[in-house]
């Protein structure tokens, strides 16, 4: 747990959260400022700052399984969705606790703006 990290506080339930999906290692919840009809964030409960900072390769596979499970709960598996990881300034990362955006419920333009 990293002090003053908003996602650590969500993961530890210091800030109340309605999990979409949760297991021992990950929690998924709705984004506060949704960019699509369905916009979830999937985070590891342990603090990892960015995609450049994880050591355990297995973490990514398990994280994507958590993304799968979240997509199932949100009923997005047939129509599809987009998953995004932003890294630092140019990637548009604002919360420095690794998270997967899961965006669905509308057609996603490519390339993004």
Enzyme catalytic residues: 99
State the nearest-atom distance from the C-beta of 108 to ligand 5GP, in Å: 15
Q: Which two tokens stand for residue 6?
A: 């908003």
Q: Which does 97 bind (CB under 5 to 8 A by kind): Zn ion, ligand 5GP, none?
A: Zn ion
Distance CA 18, CA 14 (A): 12
Which candidate, 71, 80, 74, places its Cα nearest to that of 107?
Answer: 80
2 binds Zn ion (CB under 5 A): yes
Sign of CA dihedral 14, 82, 39, 84: positive
- Would you tell me which residues interact with ligand 5GP (CB under 6 A)? 6, 29-33, 41, 86, 92-95
97 binds Zn ion (CB under 5 A): yes
> Which residues of this protein are in contact with Zn ion, per CB under 5 A?
2, 5, 7-8, 47, 97
């Amino acid at each position: 747990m990293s002090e003053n990290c908003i996602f650590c506080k969500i993961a530890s339930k210091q800030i109340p959260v309605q999990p979409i999906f949760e297991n021992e290692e990950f929690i998924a919840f709705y984004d506060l400022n949704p960019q699509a009809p369905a916009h979830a964030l999937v985070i590891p409960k342990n603090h990892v700052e960015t995609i450049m900072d994880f050591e355990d390769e297995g973490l990514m596979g398990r994280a994507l399984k958590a993304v799968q499970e979240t997509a199932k709960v949100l009923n997005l598996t047939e129509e599809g969705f987009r998953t995004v990881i932003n890294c630092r300034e140019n990637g548009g990362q604002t919360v420095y606790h690794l998270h997967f955006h899961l965006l669905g419920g509308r057609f996603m333009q490519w390339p993004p703006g």
